[in-house]
Amino acid sequence: MKDQLRLAIRAALKQCYTDGSLTSGEFPKEVQLEIPKNSEHGDFSTNLAMTLAKPERKAPRKIAETLVAALQGNSLCDKIEIAGPGFINFRLIATCWYKVLDQIMQQDETYGYSQVGAGKKIQVEFVSANPTGPLHIGHGRGAVVGDAVAAVLQAAGFEVQREYYINDAGNQILTLGRSILLRLRELQGEIVEFPEDGYQAAYIVDLAAKYRSEQGELNDVTEAEAIELCSRFGIVEILKWIEADLKSFGIHFDHWFSEQNLYDQGMVDQELLKLKEKGLSFEEDGALWLRTTDYGDDKDRVLIKSDGSYTYFASDVAYHMEKFDRGFDQVIDVWGADHHGYIPRMKAMLAGLGHPPEALEVLLIQMVNLHRDGQPYIMGKRSGNFITLKEVIDEVGRDACRFFFLMRRCDSQLDFDLELAKQQSSDNPVYYVQYAHARVCSINRNAAESGIEPLQPGQIDYNRLELTEELALVKQLARFPETVVGAALSYEPHRIIFYLQDLAAQFHSYYNRHRVLVDDPATTRARLCLVNSVRIVLANALQMLGMSAPERM
RNA sequence: GCGCCAGUAGCUCAGUUGGAUAGAGCAACGGACUUCUAAUCCGUAGGCCGAGGGUUCGAAUCCUUCCUGGCGUGCCA
């Protein structure tokens, strides 16, 4: 709809240039069309005349008049007006809008999906929590946002890969193995001193017990081998937990990428060599450094420490180079906001190796503050009230959980109230949206009971939809595809959540004011078509974001 | 000190990437179930968009200087 109008405006502008009524020959890269907040200003509005004021050296309103004259007689609009400082406001013919309903009924579960990203490969790497413990609430937000970003991109036609990077190398893995081993020795009756920097949590004891019952005791191996065995066992078990949690959230990854594998394949050394050959790295104080300050970082960064071990940055360099080798046009990393200091060095590394820094987009996920009944819920790792993601999902349910995580822009902090999220009341926006869907389904059941036949394309008389609320609903439905595209291109899935709430509100209001099933069959059919279009859009949006669209509530 | 993010109604937040009179949900107050599900709707009230300066036809949005909160600033992960 919008695109058609945009084309018409472009054509009009071109005509003005050829007939000489406008002279600058200036063509904006894109004709800006917006939906005015105030519906009296029409369906769409453009500021074109104002942007042309400077090159044309004429008053905006004069230019607008010229453009409007050229636009007369096109088949889309029934009213074109000049307003304010030079806006051109368009009101489309109602029958134009009603075509959207045909489109929705016809496309059904594919309505809202597009091909704007066709041919582009994007990778979204998210969660990537260390396999040293269960996922917590903060991981949950990153998981849902990452998954939703991926889903929205897919809906816009991009080829998307979801990837989980497993940090299964390095110090914390040693600590994990050591911690399990010590607990295992305890179970074997030894008295051990548990170090401060070990993992204290109870699940380590569980892992030790499981090791003991499945693998037996560890007596005839060296310390190093024992730690190694425990680490590997722990990683596998914990990854099983993580995968199960994510699965209960409806999230699955296309690819699990092991850091250790990067080392085993020699890729880290290979990439470090490349950096050296390009003269980007240097040795100092017995360590190997990357000169990231050449590309805007405020400090150079260590790749290999003076004791010969690698930093995480070293494997991250190799990992990201490997991502681009796989042919992605865009790589998205979803990180906790506390890692933001890492971005400059990553971008510097990419620039040094000849990749445009924009090819990596880092989405920072701000903190989640847990609340219960309005009171902050303090989580100490030491204290007993540490709450895992699994417990949250079990308590509030998958749909509510996902909805709450998507309700905010990801770079603003999120207050998550456990009581509110599980409340099945009007305070809870999840049910508000789902209820709208269930209501349409209920109308359909009633329609079927009273013998109304299923809708046939072509037998619907849209002129029966003459109420202003009905036209407004149709316009809202027409906005869904562009909302999805906008959410995809800006990596902002929360836009769809707000769209859903707006649509549900409009529907509930309409439902309360007017009956769908009325005496007149033609009106009934037209209204059934309208509310079912609402149902389809609600279902598509919910489904896209991994939530259910219940038929009854 | 430096860097990143945020600051919009009493609370939690949107604001279509610079557009017209700044919006929604809670909370408050007053109404609507004999009618397709009241997990709903209708109405009232609520604002110096943190503060100052700048850019222009036009700023919550862009540039700048401050103020407040969070996070970061390791040869930690």
- Residues A102-111: what's their mean pLDDT? 95
pLDDT tens for A181-193 read 999 999 989 898 8
Is strand B less than 7 A from the beta carbon of A187? no
- Using the CA of A41, give the nucleotide whose C1' is nearest: B20
Distance A210 CA to B22 C1' (A): 59
- Residues A238-263: what's their mean pLDDT? 95
- Using the CA of A336, give the nucleotide whose C1' is nearest: B71
Is strand B less than 7 A from the beta carbon of A461? no
Please check whether the two domains, A126-250+366-422 and A428-544, share a CATH topology.
Answer: no
The per-residue pLDDT for A426 is 61
The per-residue pLDDT for A4 is 83
- Residues A480-494: what's their mean pLDDT? 94
3-state secondary structure at position A162: strand
CATH superfamily of A428-544: Isoleucyl-tRNA Synthetase; Domain 1 (1.10.730.10)
Which of A23-27, A427-431, A498-502 shows the lowest mean pLDDT across its residues?
A23-27
Which of A21-25, A34-38, A206-210, A354-358 shows the lowest mean pLDDT across its residues?
A21-25
Token reading at A204: 């380590």
Is strand B less than 7 A from the beta carbon of A307? yes
pLDDT tens for A59-96 read 888 889 988 998 888 888 888 999 888 899 999 998 88
Q: Could you tell me the residue ranges of all domains in chain A?
A: 2-92, 126-250+366-422, 428-544
The per-residue pLDDT for A425 is 63
- In degrees, rounded to 5, the angle at the alpha carbon of residue A255 between the alpha carbons of residues A303 and A313 is 10
Work out the pLDDT band at A290, boundaries 50, 70, 90: very high
Token reading at A373: 């009944």
Does residue A281 surpass a pLDDT of 90?
yes
Is strand B less than 7 A from the beta carbon of A302? yes
CB A290 within 8 A of CB A313: yes
Q: Considering only CA atoms, which of A433, A128, A378, A362 is closest in space to residue A253?
A: A128
What's the mean per-residue pLDDT of chain A? 90
In A200-314 the beta strands, taken as DSSP E runs, fall at 255-258, 281-284, 287-290, 301-304
Fold of A126-250+366-422: Rossmann fold (3.40.50)
Strand B footprint nucleotides (protein C-beta < 7 Å): 2-7, 12-17, 19-27, 32, 35-37, 39-42, 57-58, 70-77
Is strand B less than 7 A from the beta carbon of A545? no
Q: Considering only CA atoms, which of A414, A290, A311 is closest in space to residue A364?
A: A414
- In degrees, rounded to 5, the angle at the alpha carbon of residue A359 between the alpha carbons of residues A135 and A342 is 50
A 33-52: CB within 7 Å of strand B: 34-38, 40-42, 45, 47, 50-51
Does residue A433 surpass a pLDDT of 90?
yes
Q: Considering only CA atoms, which of A356, A272, A367 is closest in space to residue A311?
A: A272
- Using the CA of A369, give the nucleotide whose C1' is nearest: B70
Fold of A2-92: Gyrase A; domain 2 (3.30.1360)
Q: Which residue minimizes Cα–C1' distance to B37? A: A439
3-state secondary structure at position A123: strand
pLDDT tens for A359-404 read 999 999 988 888 877 677 766 554 456 788 999 898 889 999 999 9
Distance A416 CA to B11 C1' (A): 14
The ipTM value here is 0.94
